[in-house]
């Protein structure tokens, strides 16, 4: 254990010996871990990452997904990632910035993906979330809907769903589909 | 009533609710001696909003108090301590009626023992054994609850002295809802039967509540196992495997829940040993002067052997489970309705018993019975033997057990905390109050305490068990009241006071010994609980 | 302000030799004087724990206390934060708490800081010999942990350098439960070593909230997380705005009715939305006093320290468990890292090559990415970052590290965690004190 008085003495000596210290810039636990996650990212050819605040802010970034198959082929969907200082204790906050007609994404950009909320575990990584998002476009899940209308159409009239998706990606105006 | 201050009390109402708060607001608490231990205990109760408090202390504020008591100040030196502490505590909460009596607790005990009858609860701090014995017998006479708190250097002790304390809402941390999955009643079984677990619709399949999955699986199991439940660990594993085999996809949370809740089938909540002890208690033979609690226990006992078919009433709540809203709400209703039937049955029995013992059949309200039923599996009865019995060695066995555990010095502190009082009655001062007599006092304390210990455990153990290190630390402490220790002991005392007053949670079942050197506690069980 | 006999109780511990004391304990009057005059302790948080800590420390003989808190007093604090009165509602907690303690305990100096812990620089935190934490969030604990651990340096033999250690004492409560722990960076586990001790926050699946709500909390969370954004777009939700809270409650109540779910109340709505943790005076008093006592022990060695974590449970009787948690030898925040000495002339590219050639690293690394503090010096992936950081490869490492040695974080797919490498430059021994962690070399 430490004797504070001898400790204090040493501290004084140390302070006398050196002059102005260079302030250390603190990294949060989240930053340390996300550095690791990002350096190990394995992005497929349909996925892109960008850092709006430059190379030294890894806590905020955007993932762009351009599906090359499935209902959403040809679309471009941007997700914002916000990493908490206590990541990976807490899952990243992910929002879809592109309005999309999708059973698991609502019009405010909320995404229903289990690993973003109830099933998040610290062993998961940014990579796992990106896989999850890609999968949402390949295989939208009508059983866990966030946009019920879209889910119903997908379940009962897949053809209709397909054309709704196409139209929505063309007209960029999803809101009216909400009233289906 | 509580609602008036619901903002101020919001954070505690979330723990003990309006009823608990009401009980606090009706309590008259008396504090004996307002050194830091007492003042800190009362501080927490005043903040929580007790009805009134009365401080009894005849000392004047001295310089020494400024070094360990937050509820005195510079300007109050020479003034009555009770008055000063009372005024500072009153500042904390104007809804509390704070009073003081400038007299010594010991003098009051002699001159006016009736004084103590007016209180709901008395907290006696820093008092010696002889006065505590007298106080305990006075409190027992009138069912005034007594809490004893003592800080001594880096150690301390807390004990409760109450004849009988009955708790309906013990609020255990890990209470498990009674789901009766292994023996569903008709309505529950019908609901389970109506849901088709083989259905193709993926949305429905993944939203069948786990309770239903388990009821079905249990029924299937029984068919192929001569009506018995999974018993061996192999069978239990098989049961889970067969559940898992019915999954349609990996993401079906209801199946995951069913597998992790499968234990509910083979180890459903039963009548635990604590409840059984209450049911077997002689107080169940009720008469006209029996408290409502025991009347309800008597009714519970009848209920269990009649319509309960061996079980306590259903608590009527279910845990959250993956399900559609509709299934869940329906299931909730099925449990609630069954629980209400149980309440009605118990109510009828309560009325009959009341009639039989010559009391008004309406004198126990339906809401009281409902609360009792909801908590029936977790009711608690605590009885604390007279202090005299504790001092006369009923604690010996427990003490010996604790002393035998290596490295546990807390039993030694119990002996030494009593030893210093014996020292004080022999030498008229505590050991170690003078710097130049430390070593001598340590020897005397050790001799005295060893004798005491041998008396408590009926001889057979030499003085060697009392560690020299602890004896010498005890002398070093020299009856000092360290603020942080006082704050811990006072804090625990106030917590126990709240449990006693609200009749919620379970109070200490024995004597708590605090060891500030290692930051540990031990509870010495008193014999009558065993 | 030391009137004769005022500290008689605490003097039993400070002026007398004991048998179970800390190392190098020397009982003497100067000890108490030094505790009062020289030692500086920082209390973080002036809430339920903070108020108690301030009182406890002042009455343990600490004479110079600073307290920092960004909050103002709310009426719901008054059931336990005993330094505050109804008329203080709305004022800064730190300021009122400091004033009250100084008023009551003559001679103690309490300096309040009304603001966020992130606003203070390193020099602020370095002033203190001990930091006592009375916090309610993991974020704040984690932040202060990284600050304090960044001061930590190691001796050549791998032992922590005493003058660089600022011990922390931490408490937390929830209802009748709580914990108190002692963190000696480099000696006992830091927060990051034992992050798993904190339970994950309860979250509900969004689709459950949207489609299959079952509990009142589900209804409330739906309105809070989804409906608000739909019906009040652009209007940012403020949990302290009563109109906002009322809106959530009304909508959640309607939603619950629609789904035939009972139990949505205003109080529950507040509880769910603000994630309110129940709090009572007694647990706060117990936990804070346990922390303050450990602070006194660390400061004076008058008694051996608790080792190193106590949990407290008060609902069923009183149960405490004191246990010694283990330090994570590879902790990202408090571990010493591997010493590595290089020429001050080498480029980052060369440095990476040296790493890959070095026998102690070569089997662990294939394509290392290198970061220095908050700066990413070279990232091997993703391509966009690789491109952005590529120009650094030709820069001298000495310049990139601001002409000082220090700790580089090395990430590599072959590593399970992060490798911390302590770089020192040949011929620049004078910079050693500026290092995050001073390894050998």
B94: CATH: 3.40.50.720
d(CA B180, CA B146): 41
Tokens of B244: 């898992």
Q: Do A2 and C122 touch (CB under 8 A)?
A: no
Residue ending a domain, among B248, B266, B284, is B266
In-domain check, residue B181: no
Q: What is the pLDDT of residue C243?
A: 96
B124 and B31 belong to one structural domain: yes
Chain B positions touching A142 (Cβ under 8 A) are: 203
Task: Measure the CA–CA gap between B412 and B402, rounded to whole angstroms.
Answer: 9
Strands A47-50 and A60-65: antiparallel
Proportion of chain B above pLDDT 70, given as a percent: 96
Helices (H), chain A: 4-17, 29-39, 126-138, 148-156, 158-171
Residues C352 and C318 reside in one and the same domain = no
> Taking CB atoms and an 8 Å cutoff, what residues of chain C touch A40?
381, 411, 413
Q: Are residues B19 and B138 in the same domain?
A: yes
Q: Is B202 on the interface with A (CB under 8 A)?
A: yes
A:C CB pairs within 8 Å = 190
Burial of C173 (0-12, 13-18, 19+ CB in 10 A): buried
Return the CATH number at C364.
3.10.290.20
Chain C residues whose beta carbon lies within 8 Å of the beta carbon of residue B508: 317-318
Q: How far apart are CA B402 and CA B405, in angstroms?
A: 5
Q: Are residues B258 and B366 in the same domain?
A: no
Subunits that touch chain C (at least 3 Cβ pairs < 8 angstroms)?
Answer: A, B
* Residue C200 touches partner A, C-beta closer than 8 Å: yes
Instruction: Report how far residue C232's alpha carbon sits from residue C218's, in angstroms, rounded to the nearest whole number.
Output: 20
Judge if B140 and B106 occupy the same domain: yes
For residues B236-245, give the mean pLDDT.
Answer: 95
Residues B199 and B326 in one domain: no
In a domain, C382, yes or no: yes
Question: By the CB < 8 Å criterion, does C171 face chain B?
Answer: no
What's the confidence (pLDDT) of residue C438?
35
| Confidence label for A1 from pLDDT (cuts 50, 70 and 90) | very low
Task: Show residues of chain C in contact with B490, CB under 8 Å.
Answer: 285
Nearest CB to C280 within list B6, B15, B468: B15
Instruction: Look at residues C119, C198, C192 and name the one whose alpha carbon lies nearest to residue C149.
Output: C192
Joined together, the tokens standing for residue A78 give: 């941007």
First-to-last C-alpha distance (Å) of chain A: 69
Q: Is A1 on the interface with B (CB under 8 A)?
A: no
Q: How far apart are CA B172 and CA B175, in angstroms?
A: 6
CA nearest to B506 within chain C: C316
Q: Indicate if C258 and C388 belong to the same structural domain.
A: no
Q: Give the per-residue pLDDT at C2.
A: 55
Closest residue, chain B, to C219 (C-alpha): B325
Count of CB atoms within 10 A of residue A58's CB?
A: 26
Q: Among residues C295, C323, C351, which one ends one of the domains?
A: C323
Residue B6 CB coordination number (10 Å): 15
Q: Rounded CA gap, C168 and C165, in Å?
A: 9
Is the same domain home to C264 and C289? no
CA distance A2 to C22: 8
Residue C132 lies in a domain: yes
pLDDT tens-place string over residues C54-108: 999 999 999 999 999 999 999 999 999 999 999 999 999 999 999 999 999 999 9
Region of A136 please: left (phi>0), alpha (psi -120 to 50) or beta. Answer: alpha
Q: In terms of C-beta density within 10 A (0-12 exposed, 13-18 middle, 19 or more buried), how is residue C144 classed? A: buried
Q: What is the mean pLDDT of residues A15-23?
A: 43
Q: Are A114 and B251 in contact (CB < 8 Å)?
A: yes
Give the ipTM: 0.95
Same domain, B165 and B194: no
pLDDT digits (tens, 9 = 90+) for B448-505: 999 888 888 776 554 446 889 999 999 999 999 999 999 999 999 999 999 999 999 9
For residue B512, which phi and psi values (nearest 5 degrees)?
-95, 130
Residue C293 forms contact with B (CB below 8 Å): yes
CB-based contact C118:C72 (threshold 8 Å): no
Q: Do C187 and C241 have their domain in common?
A: no
Q: What's the pLDDT band for A133 if we cut at 50, 70, 90?
A: very high
Q: What is the pLDDT of residue B407?
A: 62
User: At C228, which CATH number?
Assistant: 1.10.10.520
Q: Are B253 and B259 in contact (CB under 8 A)?
A: no
Look at residue B177 and tell me if it is in a domain: no
Q: What is the mean pLDDT of residues C47-55?
A: 98
**C374: which 2 tokens?**
């908050």
In a domain, C439, yes or no: no
**What pLDDT, on a 0 to 100 scale, did the predictor assign at position B408?**
63
At residue A68, the pLDDT reads 92
pLDDT tens, position by position, A86-129:
898 899 999 999 999 999 999 889 999 999 998 898 889 999 99
pLDDT for C391: 94
CB atoms near residue B19 (< 10 Å): 15
Give the Cα separation of B346 and A70 in Å (integer). Answer: 62
Evaluate whether residue C20 is within a structural domain: yes
Q: Do B203 and A114 touch (CB under 8 A)?
A: no
Interface of B with C in 241-270 (CB under 8 A): none
C415 touches chain B (CB under 8 A): no
Banded model confidence at residue C439, pLDDT cuts 50, 70, 90: very low
Residue B500 and residue B147 in contact, taking contact as beta carbons nearer than 8 Å: yes
B255 domain residue, yes or no: yes
In a domain, B219, yes or no: yes
Phi, psi of B134 (to 5 degrees): -65, -45
H/E element holding B221? helix B210-224
**Residue B233 pLDDT > 50:** yes
B430 and B490 part of one domain = no
Shortest CA distance from A110: residue in chain C: C226
Count of B–C CB contacts within 8 Å?
A: 248
Where are the alpha helices (H) located in C153-261, listed in sequence order?
Answer: 206-211, 216-222, 228-231, 242-258
Residue C424, domain member (yes or no): yes
Element (H, E) at C216: helix C216-222
Cβ <8 Å between A55 and C376: yes
Q: Do residues B500 and B48 lie in contact, with contact meaning Cβ atoms separated by under 8 Å?
A: no
Is residue C268 domain-shared with residue C213, that is, in the same domain?
yes
Range of the domain at B459: 392-477
**Which of A167-176, B189-198, C166-175 bottoms out in mean pLDDT, i.e. has the lowest?**
A167-176
As given in the structure block, the two tokens for residue B254 are 């209801």
Please state, in angstroms and rounded to a whole number, the distance separating the CA atoms of residues B516 and C360.
Answer: 46
Question: Would you say residue B225 has pLDDT above 70?
Answer: yes
- If contacts are CB pairs under 8 Å, which of residues 105-144 in chain C contact chain B? 105-106
User: Which is more confidently placed, A4 or B95?
Assistant: B95
Task: Give the span between the Cα atoms of C93 and C99, in whole angstroms.
Answer: 10
Q: How confident is the model at residue B390 (pLDDT cuts 50, 70, 90)?
A: confident
Whether residue C201 lies inside any domain: the answer is: no
- In this structure, are residues C61 and B31 in contact, taking their beta carbons and an 8 Å threshold? no
Task: Identify the three-state secondary structure at position A76.
Answer: coil
Whether residues C316 and C421 share a domain: the answer is no
Question: Are B136 and B388 contacting, i.e. CB atoms less than 8 angstroms apart?
Answer: yes
Average pLDDT over residues C38-57: 98
Dump the DSSP string for C234-253. T----TT-HHHHHHHHHHHH
Q: So what's the pLDDT on residue B463?
A: 43
A112 among known catalytic residues: yes
A175, pLDDT greater than 70: no
Domain boundary among C323, C358, C393: C323
Full-model pTM: 0.91
Strand, coil or helix: B159: strand
Q: How many structural domains are present in chain B? A: 4
Residue C336 pLDDT: 85
| Any domain includes C47 | yes
What per-residue confidence (pLDDT) applies to C200? 80
Question: What's the confidence (pLDDT) of residue A21?
Answer: 41
From the candidates A1, A104, A143, A152, which should be mutated to test the interface with B, based on the most B CB atoms within 10 A? A143
Identify whether residues B259 and B203 lie together within a single domain. yes
The whole-chain average pLDDT of chain C stands at 92
Average pLDDT over residues B374-398: 87
Q: Please spell the DSSP secondary structure of C418-438, one letter per residue.
A: -EEEEEEETT-GGGGGG-SS-
Q: Which domain holds residue C246?
A: 206-273
> Does one domain contain both B76 and B138?
yes
Phi, psi of B6 (to 5 degrees): -65, -30
Cβ–Cβ under 8 Å, residues C384 and A51? yes
Map residue B100 onto helix, strand or coil: strand
Q: Which chains touch A (3 or more CB pairs under 8 A)?
A: B, C
Model pLDDT, residue A176: 44
- C-alpha distance from A117 to closest chain B C-alpha (Å): 14
Residue A23 carries which DSSP code? P
Q: Which of C196, C193, C141, C421 is nearest to C329 (CA)?
A: C193
Give φ, ψ of A32 to 5 degrees.
-60, -45
Last residue of a domain, one of B203, B235, B266: B266
Query: pLDDT at position C419, please?
Result: 87
For residue range A55-77, list pLDDT tens digits in order.
Answer: 999 999 999 999 999 999 999 99
**Using CB atoms and an 8 Å cut-off, which of residues 49-88 of chain A contact chain B?**
none
Close Cβ partners of C211 (under 8 Å, ≥ 6 residues apart):
A144, A145, A146, A148
Q: What is the torsion angle, in degrees rounded to the nearest 10, for the CA atoms of residue B389, residue B391, residue B394 and residue B397?
A: 170
Decide if A24 and C433 are in contact by the 8 Å CB cutoff.
no
Peptide bond into A88 cis (omega under 30): yes
Q: What is the 3-state secondary structure (H, E, C) of C13-29?
A: HHCCCCCCCCCCCCCCH
Q: Of C193, C207, C219, C334, which one is the catalytic site residue?
A: C207
Statement to judge: residues C269 and C415 lie in one domain: no
Q: Are strands B520-525 and B97-101 parallel, antiparallel or unpaired?
A: unpaired
Residue C329 domain-assigned? no
**Residue in the structure block whose two tokens are 């299959």:** C212
Given pLDDT bands bounded at 50, 70 and 90, which one contains residue A25? low
Q: Which position has the higher pLDDT, B393 or B206? A: B206
Helices in C127-205 by DSSP H: which ranges? Answer: 138-151
C40 forms beta bridges with C64
CA distances from A13 to A20, B232, C290 (A): 14, 69, 32
In the numeric block, which tokens belong to residue A98?
A: 């592109």
Instruction: Give the chains touching B; criterion: ≥3 Cβ pairs < 8 Å.
Output: A, C
- Shared domain check, B293 and B145: no
Q: How many structural domains comprise chain C?
A: 3
Q: What distance in Å separates the CA atoms of residue B108 and residue B118, rounded to the nearest whole number?
A: 13
Q: Determine which helix (DSSP H) or strand (DSSP E) holds C110, and give its type and residue range.
A: strand C109-114
Inspect the interface and report whether the beta carbons of A142 and B251 lie closer than 8 Å.
no
- Clarify whether residues C187 and C290 are in a common domain: yes
Is A9 an 8 Å CB contact of chain B? no
Q: Which whole number is the average pLDDT over C212-221?
A: 96
Can you give B261-324 as a three-state secondary structure string?
Answer: CCHHHHCCCCCCHHHHHHHHCHHHCCCCCCCHHHHHHHHHHHHHHCCCCCCCCCCCCCCCCCCC
Residue at a domain's end among C273, C292, C312:
C273
Given pLDDT bands bounded at 50, 70 and 90, which one contains residue A179? very low
CA C47 – CA A168 distance, rounded (Å): 51
Confidence of residue B1 (pLDDT cuts 50, 70, 90): very low
Residues B124 and B53 in one domain: yes
Domain identity same for C139 and C262: no
pLDDT higher at B405 or B39: B39
Contact C191, C141 (CB under 8 A): yes
Closest CA to B175 of B382, B367, B375: B375
Domain annotation for chain A: domains and CATH numbers: 27-179 (3.10.110.10)
Asked if C214 and B478 come within 8 Å (Cβ–Cβ), the reply is no
Asked if residue B438 has pLDDT above 70, the reply is yes
Instruction: Tell whether B478 lies on the interface with C, counting CB pairs under 8 A.
Output: yes
Q: Using only the alpha carbons of chain A, give its radius of gyration.
A: 23
* Cβ within 8 Å of residue B330, ≥6 positions away: B191
Confidence of residue C429 (pLDDT cuts 50, 70, 90): low
Find the mean pLDDT for residues B382-393: 88
Reported as a single tens digit per residue, the pLDDT across B189-201 is 999 999 999 998 9
Q: Looking at the structure, tell me whether residues B288 and B401 fall in a common domain.
A: no
Q: Looking at residue B168, what DSSP letter applies? A: S
Q: Which of C109, C108, C69 is nearest to C91 (CA)?
A: C69
> pLDDT for B411-434, tens place per residue?
999 999 999 999 999 999 999 998
Domain boundary among B462, B477, B492: B477
Nearest C-alpha of chain A: how many angstroms from B260?
Answer: 16
Per-residue pLDDT band for C331 (boundaries 50, 70, 90) equals confident
Set A112, A127, A132, A138: catalytic member: A112
Spatial distance between the Cα atoms of B367 and B168, rounded to a whole number of angstroms: 13
The answer to whether residue B135 is domain-embedded is yes
Domain CATH for C77: 3.40.50.720
């Amino acid at each position: 254990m430490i004797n504070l008085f001898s400790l204090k003495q040493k501290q004084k000596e140390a302070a006398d010996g050196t002059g102005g210290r260079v302030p250390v810039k603190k990294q949060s636990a989240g930053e340390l871990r996300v550095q690791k996650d990002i350096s190990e990212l394995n992005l497929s050819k349909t996925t892109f990452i960008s850092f709006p605040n430059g190379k030294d802010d890894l806590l905020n970034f955007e993932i762009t997904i351009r599906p090359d198959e499935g209902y959403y082929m040809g679309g471009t969907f941007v997700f914002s990632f916000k990493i908490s200082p206590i990541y990976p204790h807490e899952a990243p906050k992910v929002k879809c910035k592109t309005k999309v007609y999708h059973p698991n994404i609502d019009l405010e950009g909320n995404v229903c993906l289990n690993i973003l909320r109830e099933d998040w575990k610290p062993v998961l990584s940014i990579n796992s979330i990106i896989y999850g998002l890609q999968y949402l476009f390949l295989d939208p899940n009508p059983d866990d809907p966030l946009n019920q209308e879209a889910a119903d159409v997908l379940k009962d009239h897949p053809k209709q769903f397909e054309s709704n998706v196409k139209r929505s990606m063309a007209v960029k105006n999803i809101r009216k589909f909400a009233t289906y | 009533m509580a609602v008036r201050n619901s903002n101020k009390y919001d954070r505690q109402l979330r723990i003990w609710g309006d009823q608990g708060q009401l009980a606090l607001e009706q309590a008259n608490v008396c504090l004996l001696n307002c050194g830091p231990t007492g003042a800190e205990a009362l501080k927490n109760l005043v903040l929580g909003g007790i009805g009134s408090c009365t401080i009894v202390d005849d000392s004047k504020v001295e310089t020494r108090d400024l070094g360990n008591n937050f509820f005195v100040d510079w300007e109050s030196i020479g003034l009555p301590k009770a008055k000063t502490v009372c005024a500072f505590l009153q500042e904390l909460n104007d809804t509390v009626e704070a009073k003081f009596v400038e007299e010594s607790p010991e003098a009051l005990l002699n001159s006016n023992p009736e004084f103590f009858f007016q209180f709901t609860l008395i907290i006696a701090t820093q008092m010696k054994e002889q006065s505590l014995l007298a106080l305990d017998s006075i409190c027992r006479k009138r069912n005034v609850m007594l809490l004893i708190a003592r800080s001594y250097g880096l150690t301390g002790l807390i004990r409760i002295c109450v004849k009988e304390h009955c708790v309906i809402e013990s609020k255990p941390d890990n209470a498990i809802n009674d789901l009766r999955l292994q023996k569903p009643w008709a309505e529950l079984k019908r609901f389970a039967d109506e849901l088709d677990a083989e259905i193709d619709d993926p949305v429905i399949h993944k939203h069948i509540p786990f309770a239903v999955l388990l009821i079905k699986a249990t029924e299937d199991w029984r068919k192929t196992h001569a009506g018995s439940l999974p018993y061996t660990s192999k069978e239990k594993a098989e049961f889970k495997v067969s559940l898992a085999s019915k999954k349609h996809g990996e993401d079906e949370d209801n199946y995951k829940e069913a597998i992790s809740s499968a234990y509910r089938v083979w180890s459903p909540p039963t009548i635990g040993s604590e409840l059984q002890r209450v049911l077997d208690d002689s107080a169940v033979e009720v008469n006209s002067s029996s408290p409502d609690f025991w009347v309800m226990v008597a009714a519970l006992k009848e209920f269990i052997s009649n319509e309960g078919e061996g079980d306590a009433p259903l608590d009527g709540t279910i845990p959250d489970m993956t399900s559609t809203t509709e299934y869940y709400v329906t299931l909730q209703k099925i449990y609630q309705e069954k629980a209400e039937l149980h309440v009605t049955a118990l109510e009828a029995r309560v009325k009959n018993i009341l009639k039989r013992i010559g009391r008004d059949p309406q004198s126990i309200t339906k809401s009281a019975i409902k609360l009792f039923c909801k908590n029936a599996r977790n009711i608690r009865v605590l009885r604390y033997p007279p202090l005299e019995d504790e001092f006369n060695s009923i604690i010996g066995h427990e003490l010996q057990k604790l002393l035998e555990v290596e490295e546990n010095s807390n039993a030694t502190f119990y002996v030494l905390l009593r030893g210093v009082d014996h020292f004080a009655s022999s030498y008229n001062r505590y050991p170690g109050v003078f710097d130049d007599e430390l070593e001598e006092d340590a020897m005397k304390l050790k001799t005295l305490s060893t004798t005491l210990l041998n008396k408590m455990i009926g001889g057979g153990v030499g003085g060697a068990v009392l560690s020299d290190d602890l004896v010498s630390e005890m002398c070093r402490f020299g009856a000092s009241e360290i603020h942080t220790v006082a704050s811990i002991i006072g804090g625990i005392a106030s917590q126990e006071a709240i449990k006693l007053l609200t009749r919620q949670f379970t109070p200490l079942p024995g004597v708590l010994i605090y060891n500030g050197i290692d930051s540990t506690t031990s509870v010495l069980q008193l014999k009558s609980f065993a | 302000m030391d009137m004769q006999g005022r500290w008689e109780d605490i003097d039993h511990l400070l002026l007398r030799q004991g048998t179970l004391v800390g190392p190098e304990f020397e009982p003497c009057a100067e000890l108490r004087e030094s505790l009062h005059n020289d030692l500086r302790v920082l209390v973080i948080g002036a809430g339920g724990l903070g108020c108690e800590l301030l009182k406890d420390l002042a009455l343990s003989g600490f004479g110079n206390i600073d307290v920092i808190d960004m909050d103002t007093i709310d009426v719901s604090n008054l059931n336990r934060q005993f330094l505050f009165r109804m008329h203080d509602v709305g004022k800064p907690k730190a300021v009122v708490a400091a004033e009250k303690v100084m008023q009551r305990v003559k001679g103690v100096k309490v300096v309040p800081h009304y603001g966020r812990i992130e606003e203070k620089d390193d020099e602020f935190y370095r002033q203190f010999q001990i930091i006592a934490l009375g916090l309610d969030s993991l974020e704040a604990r984690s932040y202060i942990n990284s600050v304090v651990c960044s001061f930590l340096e190691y001796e050549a033999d791998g032992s922590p350098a005493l003058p660089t250690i600022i011990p922390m004492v931490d408490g937390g409560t929830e209802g009748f439960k709580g914990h108190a722990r002692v963190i000696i960076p480099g000696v006992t586990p830091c927060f990051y070593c034992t992050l798993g001790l904190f339970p994950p926050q309860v979250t509900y699946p969004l689709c459950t909230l949207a489609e299959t709500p079952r509990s009142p909390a589900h209804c409330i969370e739906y309105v809070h997380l989804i409906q608000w954004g739909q019906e009040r777009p652009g209007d940012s939700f403020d949990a302290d705005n009563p109109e906002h809270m009322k809106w959530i409650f009304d909508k959640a109540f309607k939603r619950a009715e629609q789904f035939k779910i009972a139990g949505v109340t205003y109080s529950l709505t507040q509880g769910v939305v603000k994630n309110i943790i129940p709090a009572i005076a007694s647990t706060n008093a117990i936990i804070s006093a346990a922390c303050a006592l450990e602070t006194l022990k660390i400061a004076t060695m008058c008694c051996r320290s608790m080792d190193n974590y106590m949990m407290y449970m008060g609902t069923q009787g009183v149960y405490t468990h004191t246990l010694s948690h283990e330090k994570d030898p590879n902790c990202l925040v408090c571990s010493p890292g591997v010493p590595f000495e290089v020429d001050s002339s080498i480029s980052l590219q060369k440095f990476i090559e040296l790493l890959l050639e070095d026998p102690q690293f070569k089997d662990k690394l294939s394509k290392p990415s290198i970061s220095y503090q908050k700066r990413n010096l070279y990232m091997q992936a993703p391509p966009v970052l690789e491109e952005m950081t590529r120009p650094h490869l030709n820069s001298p490492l000495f310049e990139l590290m601001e002409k000082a040695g220090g700790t580089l974080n090395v990430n590599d797919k072959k590593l399970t965690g992060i490798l911390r490498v302590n770089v020192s430059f040949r011929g620049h021994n004078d910079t050693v004190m500026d290092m995050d962690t001073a390894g050998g070399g």
